[in-house]
Amino acid sequence: MDAEKRLRELRALLQDHAHRYYVLDDPLISDGEYDLLFQELLGLEEQHPELITADSPSQRPGGAPLEKFAQVVHRVPMLSLENAFNAADLQGFEDRLLRFLNQENATADQAVPLSYMAEPKIDGLAVELVYEQGRLLQGSTRGDGSRGEDITAQLRTIPSIPRTLQTTAAARLEIRGEVFMDRQALIALNQERLENGEPLFANPRNAAAGSLRQLDPAITARRSLKFLAYGIADPAQSPCSSQQELLVWLEGLGLPVNGLARFCPTMGDVTSRFEQLAAERQAMAYDIDGMVVKVNNFALQHRLGNKARAPRWAIACKFPALQATTRLLSVDFQVGRTGAVTPVALLEPVEVGGVTVSRATLHNRDEFERKDLRVGDTVLIQRAGDVIPEVVKAMVEGRDGSERPLTMPTHCPVCGHALVKEAGEAVTRCVNPHCPAQRLRALIHFCSRAGLDIEGLGRKSMEQLFDLRLVRDIPDIFTLRQEQLAGLPGWGAKSADNVMAAIEAVRHPPLGKFLAAIGIRFVGEITASLLEQRFPTLDDLMQAPMEALLEIDGIGDQAAGSIVDYFSDSEVRAMFERLHQAGVAPESGRLDPREDQPLSGLVFLFTGTLMSLSRTEAKKLVKERGGQIATTVTQKMTHLVAGEKAGSKLKKARELDKIVVTEAEFLQMLRPRP
């Protein structure tokens, strides 16, 4: 194929994919595959500069702004960044800088000192915030780099974006930064959309973009978005001479910046930092897809200038893609500890972010039907952290008619019991309490880190003990003998001793941890902690009526009903009797309210703006000290903490004769009682 024809194909492909990514928030290919196409385009244009056209994707960043929003012209264009993928690319970036600065053969006394700032590249949406006289005037997306969408009302709903800067700066400031959604917020949002039958967001970047492009700002406000500032349109608007100084200055204005940004004196330090971030990325609360490297000195940035679509003084070094395409070979239906039957895709093995993936979750029947997935499809998959990957979508354009629709089984694939899908639920369940799959999964959970964390009793060990009928339910764990284990295949005296010691160590577990481990439906770690704070012993909880459970802030009808039903079951009570006989006695982890829980029995509501704490941090402090959180002014609430610009809640609290305290008085209350 000749270069001119291939360039036409690449431009059409990239423009279509960019439109789907930037404008529709509905990508068809992974970031890694897009980057490969773009690198091919750049390579061909470098070989044939006479074929470069003004409308080439290499000449402009982003995508066209949406017509449903008013347009904003950026005074200084918001450019894209060129990409690097490894240490050699980073060194090539520095070599180009040295050539441009005529430093290739400079002596030590002639050399221009090159240093860098390395900043995590958050997978979000780039925005510009315009402040006039310290007040937020306008906010917009990057758009095509020259024009973006006016999303001021939506950006004002993000708590981390200050309406007013803390100190006086230039008359007009144009702040650049990233709006993003962390992983937990995305999981919660997708769960809500799943229950409502809405399409799921493929990744945090799409979720952030989709949330900001809501015409109703109230929808944006519910999406748990965050913002981090990384730059300024014109460095001359600041008193800073470097990117390192600028980040400190921005933070002083009250703008959040990324604490993981690092000053790197040499390119070797940059490479080391890239490797460090690549190793740590999965442990972060939010997605990063690479690291941005910037020449630190602003005078050198100005001297280096910009290319057509990217600054010459910065580059984005991308991590291996965490999305990829592969074939859906078949589907396996797994039964979980609560009876939920989950379809799992068996895939043609493919590498995703350095890990070979051959399985991915399909969530439930509604989800795979909504996505119209079929055996034989080419599918887009993604991996986040260490959880099982998920299938994002089918590439329907590649179908040839041989694909087969997926169907949910009518009976449990393990025990054969009829499956049930209750009205209003997305999950199909096996309701047979004696189903072997449920019992095994419950045992694995009990011993896992999310349970009592019994070292040595991992999934494979528990499957072995279950198959040998040495452990069939939770009490059996505590009646195991060393000689039973030592004689098993793959075991020995030492491993048996270690497991017996680990079991002995959890005979008196904290009550909250025990409750989270035994697998009551709708009772996870947070709900278990709330129960532990309210009920000092397991016996107290087992006898608690529905009304007492509903009095606990954070426990609703569904969880309360599940708890009452669980402890009313005769088999459950027999299980606890066996645990008692085996010497298992959960202990309350509740602190003495006289000493360590100064807020015990108090219910707090916050209103207005807090100056020294975030709202989330304040609520956490209340819970840690024995208090509860209210969501609105009610008779149950005891204290209203009124920050600056408190509104209607303050008026209503006074009408109900509730105690109103300032932020300073609240902080004083956190101290232990004498």
Catalytic residue set? 121
Three-state SS at 65? coil
Which pairing describes strands 659-661 and 428-430: parallel, antiparallel, or unpaired?
unpaired
Joined together, the tokens standing for residue 347 give: 């895939």
Q: What are phi and psi of 62, to 5 degrees?
A: 65, -155
| In contact, 670 and 636? CB cutoff 8 Å | no
Q: Distance (Å, rounded) from C-alpha 517 to C-alpha 513?
A: 6
Q: How is 8-39 classified by DSSP, letter by letter?
A: HHHHHHHHHHHIIIIISS--SS-HHHHHHHHH
Q: Distance (Å, rounded) from C-alpha 478 to C-alpha 408?
A: 38
Q: How is 245-310 classified by DSSP, letter by letter?
A: HHHHHHHHTT--B-TT-EEESSHHHHHHHHHHHHHHGGGSSS-EEEEEEEESBHHHHHHH-B-SSS
Largest Cα–Cα distance of the chain, in whole Å? 85
Q: What are phi and psi of 101, to 5 degrees?
A: -85, 5
User: Considering only CA atoms, which of 102, 194, 99, 215 is closest in space to residue 149?
Assistant: 215
**Category of 287 on φ-ψ map: left (φ > 0), alpha (ψ -120 to 50) or beta:** beta
Contacting residues for 634 by C-beta, under 8 A, at least 6 apart: none
Q: Distance (Å, rounded) from C-alpha 448 to C-alpha 456?
A: 10
Contacting residues for 92 by C-beta, under 8 A, at least 6 apart: 84
Q: Distance (Å, rounded) from C-alpha 41 to C-alpha 39?
A: 5
249 CB-contact burial (10 Å; exposed 0-12 / middle 13-18 / buried 19+): middle
| In contact, 628 and 622? CB cutoff 8 Å | yes
Three-state SS at 618? helix
| In contact, 345 and 339? CB cutoff 8 Å | no
